[in-house]
Structure 1
């Protein structure tokens, strides 16, 4: 006879099941914080690089303005026809760029002042070469200040990359300074020939100052470009820069020699003007190449930042997924083993009086009434074994 055992209900271990969930939630907070901070830093670096790209675009627009302005100054000093169409076209292109990105770079006010002076130049410069030289000098000073403003507000001047820094320093500071100073040097040498003998001494001192002002940034530009070309892993940069770079270097060295007065105190203005034109032509070829290289370097760094952002998001998502799996696995009920199920389920009572093995011994059966008791052993007759040994005898 089987006796149903009472079911024992176990209390759900709610605190134990909540522990993995709480632990996963606590760990999710710092993981989310790290992911957000890492993504924020990547976004900040990317915004800075995109701002530098705006600065490169603005410098690209100022290049034609600088060249046209230097040529217009020389035309006004030598009383030649003013190439106004070239200057107007360069000014309009730069104005379009300033209208689009000037507010972000905070250059609109400076550009408006330069454009106002440029529009007033013909009335002031066509009558007197000396006045033209002074008027163009004011505009070119403002233009150099605009170059510096663009480099500062765009962040180019603070670029941490060595190649990018030297390239932007050369194309955004040294090259325009050298071009403008070379134009002033040539024009002053022409003006000195028309000045009186009493002004010769002062004019020669001014010429020596302009000679240093033209040669120093040109030499710095040459040194920076040589360092970048030699250290750059991009062979295309070296090949594209080599020819105009050599031409510019030779023209600068020629200008340095021709700007020195001879024994009679005069300067060969024709040859000096030719050397200036060669240097200007080489710089015109160099500028887009250098700006393109800066753009390429910035674009490569932006691509690396995009990959870093994906890695940050991927790592954060994987960590969050693992923590969620941990929380869910801790919250779901765990399968119980057979012994536990047997303990919690019905227990079959053993028949009363049955023999239960304990180790290697047999416990005697529980005494029952005679009417219900089945003899476990048959009386053994002479020569007979008990009935319980018969199967073993049969097997032998």
Structure 2
């Protein structure tokens, strides 16, 4: 409490906290310590166990997610070898079909290696095929492979087609079955994502593009139309190949390099192999461009041989990089699995340690409290019996230890109280003896013998005896003086009797005059009451007038606020319409640009058509494309003109709308000024009403005070009347009393003579 008697800030907070925890305190006050600790332990253990369960579930989910990714990598590893051998056999078979010697051995070797890869894929598929859902399509691929081995490939087209079907099916298996169903495509780690993208998407596609571009370029075409279509398809493969190579370099390996640098991993060997493979890919792209797309003459057999050899080398180099990425990706995933496993085990260990430590501390705390309570209970029994002489000491330094210290202080107080009790009992016995002697003296004095004296002893009663003796001496002197005064009183009473009779006559006349004055004051009080009632009615009317003025002012303020909001909204709309007009102008500029582009495109298409016409049969296909481009440019120009007309119309309407909004804004501002002037007028009315109400209220207050004063005067006159009547009665009674006083004085004189004062 502070000096003013109000609780301090901390006391208020502590009181609020205590109030909030009253249910908890009530529960704990009804339980023994065993149940208290059990409840607290359960409340701590249940959330801790649930958090541990969630942590373990999350870690297990992550581990299973990444283990499934590893299953996908293990399945893709032999599938990669099978796909590579198919592509290798594809290129070599096309070369053999074209009459090139020296590549039959590659066909045989690729067949043997492919069969070995089939067995390994079968092993992995038997293990994880159901999980990855690859079994059905893998059986289809094996069926195609078995059929291919039995086929006698007479032409290059047949050789390319059968191998292309198997390669396409294997690429689909790698990406859409093994990749999707193993969570590899869902990998969210940046470093492994870049490797996964290269491992599942780009590397299979690049290996297939190498073989497909080479076989497509080497196969002879029956006529110029087929040749042109082949060149278009080959150009598409070439473009896709370049894009994938660039993306592999700029995105996958660049991202992998940065992520590995952040993690502090050494991936120099992988990146070095990637650079070498990228060189081979670029060389293959250049070979496709120079040997097939831009070559003026068809390559003969002597020119095809190095193309087949280079294609096989480029495919092998690309697969070497693919082989390197697989273990690297698996190692990253394995590291994550190990990390998740370690985190799960660490969390479990910490939770178990925390639970054991908590249980250990709880048991220790319970035993400490139990021991302290036992010591306090024993000390309490000895304190009650009065046999506790030693100072109470507890091992605990907590609140129970403080209680032990306070128990020692209580024991000291009890010992002191027992000593004081014995001393008081002795003093009481002596006091009783002195009281008996004093009572004997008092009894003699009560009989009228004022000459006796009490025995003065030590202690408080001795002071009483001494004081009683002084009292007896004083009474002895007083009685003597009273006897003298009684004689003088008898003479004075006779004089008072004559004066009392005269006062009784005067009091009777005074009472009559006061009754007349009281009637006049009551009439004045009634007039003042009517004036006060009229003043209260006027005050009520003035208050209603003031309230109406205040309400009107508030409504005007609301109208002003609404008008301001309306003005702001209208101004904002005008700004938006102006911005819309500016945007329409920008669109007009963009449409003009598109129109110029379409004109240039039309001109270029016309030039291209002319060049195609000059090229003769070789430019016929290009002439058709140029004609389509020209028509598209004309349609674009026509559409651009329509858009320009529409945008100009929108701009004109937008401008008119903005002007209308501006006019509306001016009207709103004028209305706002009028409403503001009305608000000022109502404010003045409100001020005048407030002053009027104050004056009327003051008049009512004065009238009320006057009424109250008049009523007080009436009550005073009534009291004066009563007093005058009482005075009259008192004067009459005084005459009688004086007579009685004379008789009483005579009796007192006789009684005083009974005391012995000498």
Q: Secondary structure of the equivalent of 1:264?
A: coil
Q: Which of 1 and 2 has higher RCO (CA within 8 Å, sep 6+)?
A: 1
1:156 is the counterpart of 2:220:
no
1:70 is the counterpart of 2:84:
no
TM-score (norm 1): 0.79
Q: 2: CA distance between counterparts of 1:338 and 1:208?
A: 98
Equivalence for 1:252: 281
| One of 350, 358, 368 as aligned partner of 1:315 | 350
Using the TM superposition, give the Cα deviation of residue 349 of structure 1 relative to its aligned residue in structure 2, in angstroms: 7.8
In structure 1, runs of 5+ residues without a counterpart are 1-12, 351-355, 368-396
Equivalence for 2:260: 232
Equivalence for 2:478: none
Q: 2: CA distance between counterparts of 1:277 and 1:158?
A: 33
Larger deviation, residues 196-205 vs 145-154: 196-205
Deviation string, structure 1 residues 141-176 (Cα, Å, up to 9, x no partner): 101100111111111111111111111111221011
| Alpha-carbon contact 1:62-1:94 (below 8 Å) kept | yes
Q: 1: CA distance between counterparts of 2:140 and 2:286?
A: 37
Q: 1: CA distance between counterparts of 2:115 and 2:122?
A: 10
Q: 2: CA distance between counterparts of 1:211 and 1:277?
A: 17
Deviation string, structure 1 residues 322-365 (Cα, Å, up to 9, x no partner): 44345545655333376642332472589xxxxx8669988277
| One of 258, 266, 271 as aligned partner of 1:241 | 271
In structure 2, runs of 5+ residues without a counterpart are 1-28, 98-102, 389-414, 428-758
| Alpha-carbon contact 2:85-2:114 (below 8 Å) kept | yes
Equivalence for 2:143: 116
RMSD of the alignment, in Å? 2.9
Equivalence for 1:386: none
Equivalence for 2:381: 344
Q: Kindly tell me: are residues 334 and 185 of structure 1, through their superposed partners in 2, closer, same or farther at Cα, counting changes over 3 Å? A: same
Deviation string, structure 1 residues 40-68 (Cα, Å, up to 9, x no partner): 10011011111111111112111211111
| One of 20, 32, 36 as aligned partner of 1:16 | 32
Q: Kindly tell me: are residues 342 and 104 of structure 1, through their superposed partners in 2, closer, same or farther at Cα, counting changes over 3 Å? A: same
Deviation string, structure 1 residues 282-302 (Cα, Å, up to 9, x no partner): 223212221121122112112
Q: Kindly tell me: are residues 305 and 250 of structure 1, through their superposed partners in 2, closer, same or farther at Cα, counting changes over 3 Å? A: same
Equivalence for 1:334: 371
| Alpha-carbon contact 1:61-1:93 (below 8 Å) kept | yes
Equivalence for 2:65: 48
Deviation string, structure 1 residues 209-256 (Cα, Å, up to 9, x no partner): 2223433323322331243235423564213430x3222222222222
Q: 2: CA distance between counterparts of 1:357 and 1:201?
A: 124
Q: Secondary structure of the equivalent of 1:215?
A: helix
Equivalence for 2:512: none
1:104 is the counterpart of 2:120:
no
| Alpha-carbon contact 1:60-1:291 (below 8 Å) kept | yes
1:146 is the counterpart of 2:162:
no
Using the TM superposition, give the Cα deviation of residue 272 of structure 1 relative to its aligned residue in structure 2, in angstroms: 3.9
Q: Secondary structure of the equivalent of 2:372?
A: coil
Equivalence for 1:363: 423
Q: 1: CA distance between counterparts of 2:378 and 2:40?
A: 29
